[in-house]
A and B are shown apart, each in its own frame.
Chain A
Amino acid sequence: MSLEPQELSELRSKIGRDPTSTELQIVAAEWSEHCSYKSSKKHLKMLPMTGPLVIKEKGYDSGVLDVGDGYVVTAHIESHNHPSAVEPYGGAATGVGGVIRDILSAGTRPIAIFDGLRFGNIENDQQARWLFKNAVTGIADYGNCLGIPTIGGEVEFDVCYQNYALVDVAAIGFGKKENLIKNHAKKGDLVILLGGSTGRDGIGGSQFASYSLESENRSAVQIPDPFIEKLIIEATLEARNQKLIHAMKDLGGGGLSCAISETADALDIGIEIDVEKVHTRESDMHPDEIMVSESQERMLIVTSKTKLKKLQEICKKFNIGCSVIGYVKFDNQMHIKKGKKTFANLPTDVVANATLLDLPSKKPKYLETIENERKLEPITDYSKLMMKFLASPNIASKIWVYSQYDHEVGIRTVTKPGRDASVLRLDNGKFLSAKIDGNPKHCYINPREGAIGCFEEACRNVVCTGAKPIGMLDHLQFGNPKDPEIFWTFLESLKGLTNFAKFFKIPCIGGKVSLYNETPTGPIKPTPVIGVLGLIDKKPSIPQKISDDDCLVIVGNTKDELGGSEYFEYIHKFIGGKCPVVNFEDSKKNMFSVLKVIDDNLIKSVHDCSKGGIVVAVSEMCMTNQIGCKVSLDKVPGEKLTVDRILFSESHSRYLLALERKNLRKLESIFKKNKVPFMEIGIFGGNKIQFINSLKSIIDLRVDKAQKTWLNSLKDLVIHG
C-alpha cells in the first residue's frame, strides 16, 4: 500500500522534503481512489447539485433537502464491494454502519436503510449463494440491531459478478433544520474521538478498495459492532440536542487520516493530535497503524473546552470511549505527534486534495456489434415459460430477503417493502417515498441510455406512490478506470444521468463512485445505481385491493426494446439487441399524468412496468392481490410487434393502472388531454392470469400456483440449492 512513483515525487515537491513513513501512509490513504475520487471528480461536477430544496453546508457527507415546516431529510449512498466480496457478512454490515454515520454527521437521525445487492449466478454458483446469504444476514443483523428499518432495495444476479459482490447501502435521515450541525471550529477547540476503540482491523481498507481484488486481504476488512454504533447514535444526538458539537465527521475509508485532513480542509483550519491519546484495542499500535486503521463505529467531534465536560458525561452514560486527541490550530497543517515526537506535519490542502486525473476514454469495441440480434428459438409454451420465469432469481419475489430486515421499527413505514417504492411518514404530516434502481444488463448494451433508464425507473417507482421526485443519489460502479474503454462507459453513464437530472430539475444530492470492480474473468458490467427521493404533500397512494371487473390500463408505448431484457438473457441466453431508450418528453408527460390521476383518486393501484416486461408486471399485480386478469395483447399501444416482444419488452415510461370502471371516462379525458398513449388492455377477475392475442390464448396460469412459485423460489434456491 503506497503511492505511485509520480505521486511520490509530486508529494515531495509540494512539501519540499521527503515524507516520513507516517506521512506516506496518511497520503496514500487519502490519495487513494476511494477517498480522493481522483479519476472521477473532474467529471462529477457536470451533475446539477443545487435546487430550491437543497441545503448546502461545509463538510457534509450526506445531502440535505428541505421538506418544509422546519424539517430536513438527509440522504447518502455508499458501497462496500471489495470487503463484501471477501467477507460478505462483515463487509455488508460495516457498509450499513458507514452510511448511517454519514447521516448522523449532519445531525440528523437515521430513519431508513436501502440495500442494492448484486452477485453471480446463484442457480449454479455456490460461492455466489454463500456471498448472497451472508451479505443479507450482515445487513439484517446490523440494521435490525440499530433499530433503523431497512425498507427497500433490489437484488440482482448476473454472471458478470462471479466471485464478486456489489453491496450498496443507502440511508435516509430526518431532523429539524435548526438541529443541523453547522460545521465550524474556533481556535483552541478540542478534537475528540468518540466511540469504538481503534484496532488493527481495516488497515489500508481504502487502498484495498482502490485496486482490483487480487488477494483476499482479510485484515483490510472491518469488523462490525452494531451495538456500539447504536450507542454512538444516541450519544451524538443527545450531544446535538445540548448543542455540544461544533463540527462532526464519521471515520470511514482512510480512518483518522481522512477524517482529520478533510475536516481541517473543509473548515480551513489546522489540527494537531497526539496518537497516544487515541483509545486503542491493542497496546502496541504504531502511529502509522492508528492513522489508517478503519476500525468502525468512530466519530470525530470538534467542540470547545467548556462543553467537554457535558460531552464526557453523555459518553459515560452510554459507556462509550471519548478521547480528547488534539486541538484546533489556524496554521492549516495536520500535525500528528506521539507524545512530544512529531510523526507527520503536512498542509491539509495537500493531503485532502489529490491531483485530479483526466483519464483517456475510448468507445469499447464490443459496442459496435452489440445491437445486432441473433435468431431466437421460437417459444412453444408460454405458460410453462412463465412459470420458469417467475421462479428465476431476478424475477422471483425478494420476500426471503426483506422479511429478514426489520422494516417496521421506527413506526414510519406506511408502504412496506415489496411494492414499487417504500413510503415513510414524516413528522410534518408529509410523506417521503424512496427507491433505488440499477440495471447493468441495459447499461452494458448502452451505458448512457441504460443509466438514464435506471434513473427513470427509480422515478417511476416513486411516482407510483403518488410522490414527486425531489432529489437523486447516484452510485457509479465500474471496472478499472485506467482502461479507456471502461472509463468511456463511466463518462457515458454520467452524461446520461446529467441530462435527465437537468431536464427534470432533480438535483443530485449525493453519491459515490466505486471503481476497480474487477472479477477474475474481467470487469463488472457498468452498474450505476440510482436512488430517487420523492415527497408527498398530502396522502400517499396506498394500493387498494383490486376486485372483480376492475379494469387494467397501460400508460406508455411498448417498443421493440429487448436488449438486456430478462427474456433475452435468462430465457435465450443472449446478450445483445437494442436496450430501452427513454424519450424525455414522453417520460415527463406520462409521469405527470399518472401523478394527476393518483391525485384525483381515480385509481386503486399503480404498478411500474419494468424488468420482465408487461407479463411480469401484470402477474405481480395479480399475485399481490390474489386475483386473476385477462389481458388482450393486441390492444397494447406502441410498435407492432410479435407476441413475445410485447410480453417481454422492457420499454420505459410505462405504468399499469387498476381502476374501477366508473372512473375510466375521467381517466381517459385526462390522458387524452395530455396526449399520453394509453389503452384499457384487460379486466381483473377470476383466479387465472390470462394473456390472449387475437382471441388466441397465449398464457393461462392459476394465480395461486404462480404466486407460490414466485414467493418461494428464491428461498428454496438459497436453502436447498
Chain B
Amino acid sequence: MKVGVVVFPGSNCDRDMYHVLSDVFNLDAQYYWHEKGLPKNIDAVILPGGFSYGDRLRAGVIAAHSPIIKDVQKMAEKGIPILGVCNGFQILVEAGLLPGVLLKNESLNFMCKWTNLIVENNNTSFTNQFKLHDKIPIPIANGEGRYYVDNNTLKKLKKKNQIVFRYEEMINGSSDRIAGVCNEDGNVVGMMPHPERAVESEINPIDNKPSSLIFESLLTKTGVHN
C-alpha cells in the first residue's frame, strides 16, 4: 500500500509521519514535494504538520495554493483517504476541502500538551476501528488550533456526522470542543492533535493503542487489513 506524505516548505512533521508509516506500520511511504504532482496509483495521502511558509498571512493559506493541492482535490473527489494533521488540517480547511477555519488559541499562546480526544464518528477512513466515544490520549502542539464554524455550519456538521473528534475538556476555545472533522463522504479527515506522536509506547506516557487505531483504520479501509 502506497501512502504519499506531502511536503511543503516549512513542513516539520513530515519525517515523523514517514517514520510512523514506514517503520511502525510497514507501509510504502513516499514524500511528495509541493511543486510536484501525485501519482495515480497512490492509496492514501497525508498532509503532515509544521509551519508551511512560516505560517505567514494565516496558517496553511499559502500552502493551500500549492500545485500539489489540485491533485489532492482530485483524489478527495475519488474517495481516496486523505488525512491532514495540524498544519495539514489548516491547509485542507484553507483549500476548501474541509469546512471551518482555525483561529489563534484562546490563550493567544502556542500550546503543547497531552490531552484526550473523544471519537464522535467511527465511520471515516481513519476512525473505522474505534468504538463510538472511545478516548484517545494524544498531544497537541499549535498556536492556531481553535476550530471555528458559525452556528449554521455547526448544525450542518452535526447533521451530516462530520465531527470526527472532540476534546474531552475545552482546552483552546474551539466551537463545540471540535478537534477534528471530515468531509461528507468521510474520506477526508483533518485533526489538530498529532497521532504520529502517540503511536509508539516509548514516547507515549499514557497509552499508545488508541492512536494506533487511526492508522489501523486506514489499513482496514484500504484493504491491507480485513
In the complex, what residue of chain B is closest to A425 when comparing beta carbons?
B202
Check A414/B202 contact, CB under 8 A, given A147-B50, A405-B112, A409-B16: yes
The size bracket of the interface on A is: 20 to 34
Let me know if A413 and B203 touch, CB within 8 A: yes
B12 within 8 A of A: yes
Let me know if A144 and B110 touch, CB within 8 A: yes
- Give bound CA distance, A412 to B196, whole Å: 12
A416 within 8 A of B: yes
Check A411/B196 contact, CB under 8 A, given A146-B12, A406-B110: yes
Q: Which residues of chain A from 224 to 254 have any CB-CB distance to chain B below 8 Å in the complex?
A: 225-227, 230-231
Q: Which residues of chain B from 44 to 88 have any CB-CB distance to chain A below 8 Å in the complex?
A: 49-51, 53-56
Let me know if A408 and B202 touch, CB within 8 A: no
Chain B residues near A406 (CB, 8 Å)?
Answer: 110, 112, 141
Chain A 406-423 per-residue mask, 1 if CB under 8 angstroms from chain B, else 0: 111111111010000000
B168 within 8 A of A: no
Query: What's the tally of chain B residues with a CB closer than 8 Å to chain A?
Result: 31
Chain A residues near B139 (CB, 8 Å)?
Answer: 408
Kindly provide the distance from the CB of A502 to the nearest chain B CB, expressed in whole angstroms. Answer: 36
B210 within 8 A of A: no
B219 within 8 A of A: no
Kindly provide the distance from the CB of B225 to the nearest chain A CB, expressed in whole angstroms. Answer: 23
B205 within 8 A of A: yes
A570 within 8 A of B: no
Chain A 111-155 per-residue mask, 1 if CB under 8 angstroms from chain B, else 0: 000000000000000000000000001001100111100000000
Given B13, B109, B143, B202, which contacts A147 in the complex, CB threshold below 8 Å?
A: B13
Let me know if B55 and A145 touch, CB within 8 A: yes
B173 within 8 A of A: no
Chain A residues near B109 (CB, 8 Å)?
Answer: 137, 140, 403-404
- Give bound CA distance, A317 to B143, whole Å: 28
Let me know if B10 and A227 touch, CB within 8 A: yes
- Give bound CA distance, A290 to B181, whole Å: 50
Chain A residues near B9 (CB, 8 Å)?
Answer: 227, 230-231, 318-319
- Give bound CA distance, A410 to B12, whole Å: 8
Given A411, A425, A542, which contacts B16 in the complex, CB threshold below 8 Å?
A: A411
Check A230/B141 contact, CB under 8 A, given A144-B51, A403-B112, A413-B203: no
Check A230/B112 contact, CB under 8 A, given A225-B54, A406-B141, A409-B141: no
Q: Which residues of chain B from 109 to 167 have any CB-CB distance to chain A below 8 Å in the complex?
A: 109-113, 139, 141, 143
Given B55, B56, B194, which contacts A408 in the complex, CB threshold below 8 Å?
A: B194
Q: Which residues of chain B from 180 to 203 have any CB-CB distance to chain A below 8 Å in the complex?
A: 194, 196-197, 200, 202-203
Let me know if A416 and B12 touch, CB within 8 A: no
Chain B residues near A147 (CB, 8 Å)?
Answer: 12-13, 50-51
Check A403/B51 contact, CB under 8 A, given A144-B141, A319-B9, A408-B139: no
B32 within 8 A of A: no
Let me know if B112 and A404 touch, CB within 8 A: yes
Sort A-B residue pairs by CB-CB distance and give the 3 closest, nearest first. Answer: A147-B12, A227-B54, A406-B141
Chain A residues near B (Cβ < 8 Å)? 137, 140-141, 144-147, 225-227, 230-231, 317-319, 402-414, 416, 425, 542
A-B contact pairs, 12 of them (CB 8 A): A137-B109, A140-B110, A145-B12, A317-B33, A319-B9, A403-B113, A404-B111, A408-B112, A411-B20, A411-B203, A425-B202, A425-B203
